[in-house]
Structure 1
Amino acid sequence: MRKFSLTDNSSENVLDRGSRNWLLHARYVRGEHSLCLDLADELLKQNDNKHRYAQYIKGSVLADAGRIQEALEKFHSCLRLQPQDPEPLKQVAKCLFRQGRFQLALEAYLEADKITKHPDADIYCALAECSWNLGDILHGVEWARSAVQAGGGERAGALLARLLLASNNINGALAAYDEALASHACGAETLAAAGALRLRAGDPRRAFQLLGAALAQQPSQHTAALALAAMMLQHKDLDAALARLKTALAAHPTCVASHVNLGLALLAKKKFVAALTCLQRAVWAAPLSSRASHDLGLALLICRRNTSAFCRLATAAALEPSQPYTVLLIAIALERLEDNRCDAAYVRSAKLAPDDPLIRLNLAGRHARAGRLEKAFEEATVTADLLQRAEKPDAHLASSLASLMAILKDAGEDLSQPASKSVETPLPAIEDSIITKNEMAPDEV
């Protein structure tokens, strides 16, 4: 319950003999809203509807119950009785914000800021949120900085970090989170957000510390559990990732990202039926998510359900046409279905990502399987150049490329000396090479 100022000469002063404002306040903070409303009505009846604190408390109760318009009327009654009190005006602005009337809420908060005698961090935070919802990120950052300077605590620091992140200032957002964490005892939500941003910025050690602290405070913290699961999946720790994802789903059963990551983790453990079930749930929860459709199509393709995979991948491509890996998977599905349109799909994926060695290698393999050995050799040479320019060449791709070059040699293609130098033989091979001499099967992302 926020403070409510009363003038010294008011007949409602809490120190006046017989005042029951303390009882009104106590019933409100204890959640005894029914008794609170009865007492407020009684006080209003006794004072000819001029009891400001009763109007204020009644408006607060109505706002908590979701009856925003009725609450606005009560707060306006408070303002008519005492126009220079900022607290009812702040509540008016809060109600307008909850109704989605952000411009009016911004104007109300600005008016409250004018009549407030001291800097109010709550007003500055609210102004930053209004500016953010109106699309004015720069002014939102300025208001958030003012809130931090006014002593807004964790709320102001976290809000500033989110606004800086929304303006693509990742370093500034990291600094804001660090300052908030160093100055205040932050809650699990702020720790989880800071950890997720650290993970995004490429600092896994610090991210792990923050995410662990968030889960220590709140074991069911959804964001922290999901981010930790992503880290564990990157390190191939599937069992620990599954445990974290189950925690995330228990806290947020409809989270699409949790269902998708759980499905991919189960797919990596070769539990195909459970993986398909999780990915299908993700698609049901978010039918317009291209990521969910893409991952379900990938799982169906791995399970050799090519027609179903093509349908899901076509949906993903319709939602996000510029995603090259989705187009590549469509090409693989079409090739398995012996559809000649697969060539156009392979070429389309290469145009979308001309510098991706995986896509160029798949295109080379398609040319080889179709008997276009000269084009296959050209694409293989391009792939070798891309792998050489990479800082850390992918051993899987290098092994597949070496197998393809060997097949082309056995097929009688005349390989020039520069081409033979483009493939480094020391690169390790993998046991389950995608392209073998007996069967040149298309690669899978």
Structure 2
Amino acid sequence: MRRPSVFVAKDPEKEFRYGSRNWLLHARYVRGEHAMCLDLADDLQKKADNTHRYAHYVKGLVYADAGRHQEALERFHSCIRLQPSDPEPLKQVAKSLSCQGRYQLSLEAYLEADKLTKHPDSDIYCALAECASNLGQIERGVEWARAAVQAGGGERAGALLARLLLASGDAVGASAAYDQAIATHACGADTLAAAGALRLRAGAPREAFQLLGAALAQQPSQHAAALALAAMMLQHRDLDAALARLKAALSAHPTCVAAHSNLGLALLAKKKYVAALTCLQRAVWSAPLSARAAHNLGLALLLCRRPASAFCRLATAAALQPRQPYTVLLIGIALERLGDARADAAYARAAALAPGAALVRVNRAARLARAGLAGRAAEEARAVAEILQGEEKPDAQLSSSLATLLALLRDAGVQLSDLPDHLPRGDTPDDLPEDDMTADEV
């Protein structure tokens, strides 16, 4: 709830003589007694011939809180007509315009309010940055957010600057802005969770864990922090701890698509297939246009040996996100299990979308070998070997699959003399998460 500003009376002697009731108007507004507040404001307007500025102002705040922004604009404009040099009603006009989605007019109103203020106002600068961001002017929004930070905007300005820098593609600058905000202010759980998620994407899990833990310690129902921690635990195969975090996230946000999807993947990894399918289906119901949710459900259906249902879900995911190679690869697997001749085209399309993905290429090589095209399968196997040799930590499961495929090709009489003498072995499979069960991005 917004705290109404204190107005200076136009005639202090007259106010003292008849007794000002602005304090009672203010008290009723901040206590949420809006009906009594409106009655008192109408009474004051009758006594002052509709020239009581503070009554106009508080009525505008009440209307704005109720979502009646057009009526609120009329009250604030009455305040401006009575005293044009006061920036507070103009700021409320700009805020109501922003709530109506009229961002250009809101931006202009905030600029006029900035001209009337005697000192830099961080609230105005933050609002200008948000309006510029909504208008697609990210760089201009970053400039206003920096001005808000310099004007002492506190946590709000720092978090806003970080979000806008991240939207502009400057992840390093966004991380630095979060660090400065956390170091100089007592930040809330939302800011800590956003900073932790950014650190997790940047590949700093230790710092991300500290920030996310601090966010949950401050607000245990902070679902974004719980989701990010669950994603970290899924990557490290700590399924029980991930399930606990995901259940906490769902209790705070029951319609969260990422929580349902990650919970389904965790249950799938524990081989609880019915519960996993239920969670993934809920994710699809909550977000029918989410390609990731449809992809995960298609993967689960494939693992449950339901290729026809899996194909339907994967086709939906591919329609929503056509250039996702792993979705196209799963479509090829589903079509092959259904005995459809279009599987070869799906494998080729996946390899064309991700020519450097060893998982896609080794699956295509296996498909060619099963189709009796041993020569083309050998070419794909050579490409997979080169890709794995170029990786610092090759996947052990892919290396094992490649070795098995090469052994079968040699038994079939295929010449593989130009392959490397020593294929990469990678780490032990137990130390690595499965690629096809990666958690949703938070």
For Structure 1 versus Structure 2, the TM-score category normalised by the shorter chain is over 0.9
- Coordinate RMSD, CA, aligned: 1.8
Are the equivalent residues in 2 in contact too, given 1:12–1:51 (CA < 8 A)? no
Match of 1:247 in 2: 248
Please give the alpha-carbon distance, in whole angstroms, between the structure 2 residues aligned to 1:95 and 1:247. Answer: 36
Residue type at the aligned position of 1:161: A
Residue type at the aligned position of 1:141: V
Structure 1 pair 152/376, CA: closer, same or farther in 2 (3 Å)?
same
Match of 2:440 in 1: none
Match of 2:125 in 1: 124
Residue type at the aligned position of 2:102: R
Match of 1:36 in 2: 37
Any gaps of 5 or more consecutive residues in structure 2? Answer: 438-442
What pairs with 1:40-79 in structure 2 (closer than 5 Å)?
40-79=41-80
Residue type at the aligned position of 2:310: A
Please give the alpha-carbon distance, in whole angstroms, between the structure 2 residues aligned to 1:376 and 1:24. Answer: 81
Are the equivalent residues in 1 in contact too, given 2:212–2:225 (CA < 8 A)? yes
Structure 1 pair 345/12, CA: closer, same or farther in 2 (3 Å)?
farther
Match of 2:87 in 1: 86
Deviation of 1:253 (Å): 1.1
Deviation of 1:32 (Å): 1.2
CA distances 1:305-325 after superposition (whole Å, capped 9, x unpaired): 010001111111111111100
Deviation of 1:164 (Å): 0.4
TM-score (norm 2): 0.94
Are the equivalent residues in 2 in contact too, given 1:400–1:429 (CA < 8 A)? no
Are the equivalent residues in 2 in contact too, given 1:103–1:134 (CA < 8 A)? yes
- Residue 301, structure 1, aligned to residue 302, structure 2: yes
What pairs with 1:266-345 in structure 2 (closer than 5 Å)?
266-345=267-346
Residue type at the aligned position of 1:423: L
Please give the alpha-carbon distance, in whole angstroms, between the structure 2 residues aligned to 1:148 and 1:428. Answer: 47
Deviation of 1:393 (Å): 0.8
Structure 1 pair 20/377, CA: closer, same or farther in 2 (3 Å)?
same
Q: SS of 1:321's equivalent?
A: coil
Q: SS of 1:419's equivalent?
A: coil
Structure 1 pair 291/15, CA: closer, same or farther in 2 (3 Å)?
farther
Q: SS of 2:136's equivalent?
A: coil
Structure 1 pair 57/273, CA: closer, same or farther in 2 (3 Å)?
same
How many residues align? The count is 432
Residue type at the aligned position of 1:117: K
CA distances 1:278-311 after superposition (whole Å, capped 9, x unpaired): 1111111111111111110000000000100011
Deviation of 1:7 (Å): 3.8
Match of 1:423 in 2: 423
Please give the alpha-carbon distance, in whole angstroms, between the structure 2 residues aligned to 1:427 and 1:187. Answer: 42
Match of 1:393 in 2: 394
- My pick for the range that moved more, 98-107 or 60-69, is 60-69
Please give the alpha-carbon distance, in whole angstroms, between the structure 2 residues aligned to 1:327 and 1:293. Answer: 13
Structure 1 pair 289/13, CA: closer, same or farther in 2 (3 Å)?
farther
Structure 1 pair 429/168, CA: closer, same or farther in 2 (3 Å)?
closer
Q: SS of 1:421's equivalent?
A: coil
Deviation of 1:429 (Å): 7.5
Identity of aligned residues (%): 72
What pairs with 1:7-406 in structure 2 (closer than 5 Å)?
7=8, 9-11=10-12, 18-406=19-407
Residue type at the aligned position of 1:232: M
Please give the alpha-carbon distance, in whole angstroms, between the structure 1 residues aligned to 2:15 and 2:400. Answer: 82
Deviation of 1:413 (Å): 1.8
Q: SS of 2:175's equivalent?
A: helix
Residue type at the aligned position of 2:239: L
Structure 1 pair 299/12, CA: closer, same or farther in 2 (3 Å)?
farther
Deviation of 1:407 (Å): 0.9
Deviation of 1:422 (Å): 5.4
Please give the alpha-carbon distance, in whole angstroms, between the structure 2 residues aligned to 1:83 and 1:428. Answer: 72
Residue type at the aligned position of 1:222: H
Please give the alpha-carbon distance, in whole angstroms, between the structure 1 residues aligned to 2:227 and 2:17. Answer: 55
Please give the alpha-carbon distance, in whole angstroms, between the structure 2 residues aligned to 1:208 and 1:430. Answer: 25
Match of 1:437 in 2: none
Are the equivalent residues in 2 in contact too, given 1:381–1:422 (CA < 8 A)? no
Are the equivalent residues in 2 in contact too, given 1:399–1:430 (CA < 8 A)? no
Please give the alpha-carbon distance, in whole angstroms, between the structure 1 residues aligned to 2:427 and 2:40. Answer: 80
Match of 1:434 in 2: none
Structure 1 pair 14/375, CA: closer, same or farther in 2 (3 Å)?
farther
TM-score (norm 1): 0.94
Structure 1 pair 202/371, CA: closer, same or farther in 2 (3 Å)?
same
Q: Which has the higher contact order (CA 8 A, sep 6+)?
A: 2
Are the equivalent residues in 1 in contact too, given 2:395–2:427 (CA < 8 A)? no
Deviation of 1:37 (Å): 1.1
Deviation of 1:372 (Å): 1.0
Deviation of 1:391 (Å): 1.1
Q: SS of 2:169's equivalent?
A: coil
Q: SS of 2:419's equivalent?
A: helix
Deviation of 1:350 (Å): 0.6
Are the equivalent residues in 1 in contact too, given 2:350–2:360 (CA < 8 A)? yes
CA distances 1:378-403 after superposition (whole Å, capped 9, x unpaired): 11111111100111111110011111
Deviation of 1:6 (Å): 3.3
Q: SS of 1:254's equivalent?
A: coil
